[in-house]
Amino acid sequence: MSPVGRQIQLLLLPEDEDRILQAIRGRYPEVKLIDYVPWADEETPPVRESAADCGTIATIWNPSIHHKLPVYVGSNGAVTGPAVGPVVQWVRSLEKVPGTLESGRWAAGFDKERDPEMASFVGSLWRILNRFTTHRMVCTRGAGVDAPPVAPERRFRVGRKAAERALEGSLNLRSGAMYMRPEVG
């Protein structure tokens, strides 16, 4: 069987990230969040307590499935861990410009037959994410709560806090040049 890729676009504020990570750790207490920066050495991944402690990219690692992560040592001696495979990549949604939240994503790649535990773990992560987010969005013609809706948009998951702020008008949700907001009602 060939590898399976799975990804989902996200719009999460730090409060949303914390709720989701807390739910993940409630189900999988052993889960580690790794900042996607150079490691101190080949045995020491840069584990962080929260997504907010990470930069733009983090990875979700379940050490009970993959006890040791593969590393790459560059010609300059920098040690980096995997971006996908034995981990789930988490490109964080960031408010690079105050009041505008740029989309992020989760991405996973695994082989269902060779790594059924990882396949099950990824499925469970997606179910947790779905519990704490909605995909009921509309693409809009521009930014702001009064921007006219263009069409339903179902490719993104928005966290509760991000949705709340978008609906009250204090946060714009964006992916590239596309603006969106949660559906009302």
DSSP state of 14: H
Q: Are strands 87-91 and 57-61 parallel, antiparallel or unpaired?
A: antiparallel
pLDDT digits 0-9 by tens, 106-161? 999 999 999 999 999 999 999 999 999 999 999 999 998 899 999 999 999 999 99
What is the helix (H) or strand (E) element at residue 168, kind and residue range? helix 160-168
Residue 108's pLDDT is 96
DSSP state of 71: -
Q: How confident is the model at residue 1 (pLDDT cuts 50, 70, 90)?
A: low
Nearest alpha-carbon partner for 11 in 131, 95, 98, 88: 95
CA 49/CA 121 separation, integer angstroms = 20
Q: Cα 183 to chain center, whole Å?
A: 22
Q: How confident is the model at residue 178 (pLDDT cuts 50, 70, 90)?
A: very high
CB 160 within 8 A of CB 16: yes
Residue 2's pLDDT is 67
What's this model's pTM, rounded to 2 decimal places?
A: 0.93
pLDDT digits 0-9 by tens, 49-63? 999 999 999 999 999
- Count Cα neighbours of 52 within 13 Å in the Cβ-side half-sphere: 10
Residues 50-77: what's their mean pLDDT? 95
Residues 9-35: what's their mean pLDDT? 98
For residues 154, 82, 125, 182, the Cα torsion angle rounded to the nearest 10 degrees is -30
Q: How confident is the model at residue 78 (pLDDT cuts 50, 70, 90)?
A: very high
Residue type, 42: E
